[in-house]
A and B are shown apart, each in its own frame.
Chain A
Amino acid sequence: MSLLEIDTIDVFYADFQALYSLSLHVEEGETLAVIGANGAGKSTLMKTIAGLNRPSAGEVRFDGTSIAKLATHKRVPLGIALTPEGRRIFPSLTLEENLRVGAHASRPGPWNLDTVYAAFPLLSERRSRLGTNASGGEQQACAIGRALMSNPRLLLLDEVSLGLAPVVVEQIYAALPSITSQGTTVLLVEQDVNQAMKVANRVQCLLEGRSVLEGTPATLSREQIASAYFGI
Chain B
Amino acid sequence: MEWANAVVQGLLLGGLYALLAAGLSLMFGVMRLVNLAHGALAIVAAYLSLVLVQKAGMPPFASIIVVVPIMFAVGWLLQSTLLNGALNRQALAPILVTFGLAVIIQNVLLAVFSADNQSIQLGDLAGASIHLTDSIAIGVFPLITFAVGVLVIFLLQQYMARTKSGRAMRATSDDREAASLMGIDNKRIYALATAIALGIVGIAGTFLGMRTQFNPYFGDVTLIFAFEAVIIGGLGSLWGTLAGGMILGVAQAVGAQAYPSSGVLLGHLVFLAVLAFRPTGLFPKVVNG
Contact = CB atoms under 8 A, between A and B. Distances in A.
The answer to whether A and B interact is yes
Interface of A: 50-52, 71-74, 76-77, 81-82, 84, 88, 90-93, 97-98, 100-102, 104-105, 130, 132, 146-147, 150
The number of chain B residues touching the other chain, given as a range, is 20 to 34
A102 B287 contact: no
B241 to A, nearest CB: 17
Nearest to A149: B182
B180 A90 contact: no
Nearest to A76: B183
Nearest to B186: A73
A92 B287 contact: yes
A132 B287 contact: yes
Interface string B165-198: 0011011011101111111111000000000000
Given A52-B177, A88-B178, A101-B179, A93 B171 contact: yes
A147 B178 CA distance: 11
B285 interface: yes
A132 B289 CA distance: 9
Nearest to A133: B287
B172 to A, nearest CB: 9
A82 B289 contact: no
B167 A146 contact: no
Given A76-B181, A93-B171, A101-B171, 8 more contacts: A72-B180, A73-B183, A90-B170, A92-B285, A92-B287, A97-B170, A101-B179, A130-B287
Contacts of B184: 73, 101, 104
Given A91-B287, A92-B287, A132-B287, A73 B171 contact: no
A91 B181 contact: no
A102 B184 CA distance: 9
Contacts of A98: 171
Contacts of A50: 181
Contacts of B164: 100, 104
B34 to A, nearest CB: 20
Interface of B: 164, 167-168, 170-171, 173-175, 177-186, 285-289
A104 B183 contact: yes
B80 to A, nearest CB: 15
A155 to B, nearest CB: 12
Contacts of B183: 73-74, 76-77, 104-105, 150
B175 A146 contact: no
B175 A150 contact: no
Contacts of A91: 174-175, 287-289
Given A91-B287, A93-B174, A84 B181 contact: yes
A88 B175 contact: yes
A147 B182 CA distance: 7
B165 to A, nearest CB: 9
Nearest to A101: B171
A105 B182 contact: yes
Contacts of B289: 90-92
Contacts of B287: 91-92, 130, 132
Nearest to A143: B178
A97 B287 CA distance: 15
A81 B285 CA distance: 30
10 contacts: A50-B181, A51-B180, A71-B180, A88-B177, A90-B178, A90-B289, A98-B171, A100-B164, A102-B182, A132-B287
B181 A92 contact: no
Q: Which of B177, B181, B182 has the most CB of A within 10 A?
A: B181
A104 B181 contact: no
Contacts of A105: 182-183
Contacts of B170: 90, 92-93, 97
A3 B168 CA distance: 29
A91 B286 CA distance: 10
Q: Lowest 8 A-B CB distances belong to which pairs?
A: A76-B183, A105-B183, A92-B287, A88-B178, A90-B174, A72-B180, A101-B171, A73-B180
A50 B177 CA distance: 11
